[in-house]
């Protein structure tokens, strides 16, 4: 199945600069996706420090189990990603395939298999034969390049209709560092702690413990704030790798003010990736940004925002360009978030609709209807309780989603 590119795709992607110490190569393996490149090998030549966040799905795949263990060691030498087969729920052959692949990567690059992470995405429940991947390794290793980021972004796609990449620069204590990120994700998207697949690399010199703290903080408001269909993958992971080549000063405390710029740049990269994922939501015709304010706390704000974002009735109303704000009120009510009925406010596209719990006197739907005809929709809800707030990105629910998912495997 070949899908048209999302109408919400960005006009152009940033040109990702090299990250010293990190090289990539990709290739088509196994005939998935009409022969498009679908395997990515990433090598950290001198090793790198690494942190990761992973799916909370209780039936997480063997690749997640393996890579969580690799990341626990804090050091990474290589990463092998394949798209097309998630290597999940296949029984004992699942881990055997990972052992075969990582042993082969270790032998090929001369690194310990225990420092080789893997990620797999695609169909669940089909045994993955490691042989074609092993056979492709020598060719991949020969072509490793610091310049191959966008090919890497392509190689990890499944039903994605465009590549997702972001980059940012900042200084750590006067030293310029770069952060590159690539991601994939289009359906089965409601990350819970991590997301889809996202691989972020920097030349900053930061140890695994610091990376872990920075990553967890950044993910909460970025990758964990995007949802397409509320379904949480068995395979989600986001890795943050630091080659150390920039040679900045050692900083051992993630809260050190000298890391503020890096934290902001990391969040910018992850936010860009999160929004790109919402823009490529299966069948998406409209990008929806939902701001909830006035909540009891941030968790309550996120609960309300996610419930609105996942409501099939809200998503289909927006697909139909229908200013049916009552469905937003319904979703707020069922979310379980604390709400002050007498102070509830709802706006779309900046036009106030509900204030103090009721329809605004003299409300004119025309500007809202005009806003809904656009590609980028904003919803704002104030719960009237406290100061908690959250922002979530999602997309509308259209015939395209049904087309893609009613016939995914054929």
- Binder among 9, 90, 117, 172 for a second copy (CB under 8 A): 90
The tokens describing 18, both together, are 């090299």
Give the footprint of a second copy on residues 105-124 (CB under 8 A).
123-124
Residue 406 lies near a second copy (rule: CB under 8 A): yes
Yes or no: say if 273 and 198 are a contact pair by the CB < 8 Å rule.
yes
Contact flag: residue 229 with a second copy (CB under 8 A): yes
For residue 344, how far is the Cα from the chain centroid?
Answer: 31
195 is an active site residue = yes
| Smallest distance from a second copy to CB 195, Å | 13
Nearest alpha-carbon partner for 2 in 35, 25, 28, 27: 35
Among the listed residues 8, 183, 274, 397, the single contact to a second copy using CB under 8 A? 397
Closest approach, Cβ 332 to a second copy, in A, equals: 6
Report if residue 32 touches a second copy, rule: CB under 8 A.
Answer: no
Pick the binder of a second copy from 54, 162, 325, 393 (CB under 8 A). Answer: 325
Closest to 328 (Cα-Cα) out of 249, 395, 381, 403 = 381
209 binds a second copy (CB under 8 A): no
Q: Which stretch binds a second copy (CB under 8 A): 153-161, 268-276, 294-302, 307-315?
A: 307-315
Q: Residue 208: CB partners within 8 Å, gap ≥ 6? A: 49, 50, 51, 71, 74, 75
> Which of residues 75, 326, 371, 386 is near a second copy by CB under 8 A?
326
Which parts of 238-267 interact with a second copy (CB under 8 A)?
Answer: none
Q: How far is the CB of 156 from a second copy (least distance, A)?
A: 19
* Minimum gap (Å) between residue 213 Cβ and a second copy: 26
Does 60 help bind a second copy (rule: CB under 8 A)? Answer: yes
Query: Which helix (H) or strand (E) covers residue 134, if one does?
Result: helix 131-142
Q: Where are the beta strands (DSSP E) in 144-222?
A: 164-172, 175-184, 197-202
Options 70-78, 158-166, 208-216, 230-238: segment touching a second copy (CB under 8 A): 230-238
Binding mask 328-357 for a second copy (x = CB under 8 A): -xxxxxxxxxxx-x--x---------x-xx
Kindly give, in sequence order, each residue whose CB lies less than 8 Å from that of residue 195, ignoring residues fewer than 6 positions away.
183, 185, 189, 219, 223, 224, 226, 236, 237, 238, 274, 277
Asked if 129 is part of the footprint of a second copy (rule: CB under 8 A), the reply reads no
CB of 239 to a second copy, least distance (A): 21
Q: Binders of a second copy: how many residues, by CB under 8 A?
A: 67
Q: Of residues 178, 195, 227, 380, which has the active-site annotation?
A: 195
Which residues, 169 to 198, sit near a second copy by CB under 8 A? 187-188, 192
Report the Cα 408 to chain-centroid distance in Å: 21
What DSSP line would sit under 270-323, residue for residue?
A: HHHHHHHHHHTSTT-S-EEEEEEEEESSHHHHHHHHHHHHH-HHHHHHHHTT--
Contacts 24+ apart (CB under 8 A), 401-405: 401/187, 401/229, 401/281, 401/282, 401/283, 402/283, 403/283, 404/1, 404/3, 404/159, 404/187, 404/282, 404/283, 405/187, 405/282
Judged by the rule CB under 8 A, the positions of this chain that interact with a second copy are 56-60, 86, 88-92, 123-127, 187-188, 192, 229-234, 310-313, 316-317, 319-320, 322, 324-327, 329-339, 341, 344, 354, 356-359, 397-399, 401-402, 405-410
What positions carry a catalytic annotation? Answer: 195
């Amino acid at each position: 199945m070949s899908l048209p590119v999302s109408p919400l795709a960005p006009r152009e992607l940033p040109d990702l600069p090299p990250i010293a110490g990190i090289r990539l190569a990709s290739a088509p393996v196994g005939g998935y996706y009409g022969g498009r490149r679908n395997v990515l090998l990433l090598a950290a030549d001198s090793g790198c420090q690494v942190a990761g966040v992973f799916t909370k799905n209780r039936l997480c795949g063997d690749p997640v189990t393996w890579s969580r263990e690799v990341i626990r060691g804090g050091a990474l030498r290589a990463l092998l990603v394949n798209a097309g087969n998630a290597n999940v729920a296949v029984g004992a052959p699942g881990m055997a395939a990972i052992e075969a692949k990582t042993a082969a990567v270790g032998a090929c690059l001369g690194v310990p298999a225990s420092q080789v992470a893997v990620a797999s995405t695609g169909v669940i429940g089909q045994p993955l034969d490691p042989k074609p991947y092993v056979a492709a390794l020598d060719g991949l290793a020969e072509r490793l390049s610091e310049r191959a980021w966008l090919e890497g972004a392509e190689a990890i796609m499944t039903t994605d209709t465009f590549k997702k990449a972001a980059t940012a620069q900042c200084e750590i204590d006067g030293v310029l560092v770069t952060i590159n990120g690539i991601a994939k994700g289009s359906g089965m998207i409601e990350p819970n702690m991590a997301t889809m697949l996202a691989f972020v690399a920097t030349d900053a010199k930061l140890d695994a413990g610091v990376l872990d703290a920075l990553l967890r903080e950044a993910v909460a408001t970025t990758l964990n704030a995007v949802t397409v269909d509320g379904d949480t993958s068995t395979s989600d992971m986001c890795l943050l790798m630091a080659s150390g080549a920039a040679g900045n000063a050692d900083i051992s405390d993630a809260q050190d003010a000298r890391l503020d710029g890096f934290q902001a740049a990391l969040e910018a990269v992850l936010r860009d990736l999160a929004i790109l994922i919402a823009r490529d939501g299966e069948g998406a015709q409209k990008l929806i940004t939902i701001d909830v304010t006035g909540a009891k706390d941030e968790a309550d704000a996120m609960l309300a925002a996610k419930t609105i974002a996942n409501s099939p009735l809200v998503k289909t109303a927006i697909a139909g360009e229908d200013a049916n704000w009552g469905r937003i009120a319904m979703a707020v009510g069922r979310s379980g978030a604390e709400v002050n009925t007498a102070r509830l406010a709802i706006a779309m596209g900046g036009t106030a609709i509900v204030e103090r719990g009721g329809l605004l006197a003299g409300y004119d739907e025309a500007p809202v209807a005009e806003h809904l005809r656009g590609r980028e929709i904003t919803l704002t809800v104030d719960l009237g309780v406290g100061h908690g707030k959250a922002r979530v990105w999602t997309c509308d629910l259209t015939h395209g989603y049904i087309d893609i998912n009613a016939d995914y495997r054929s």
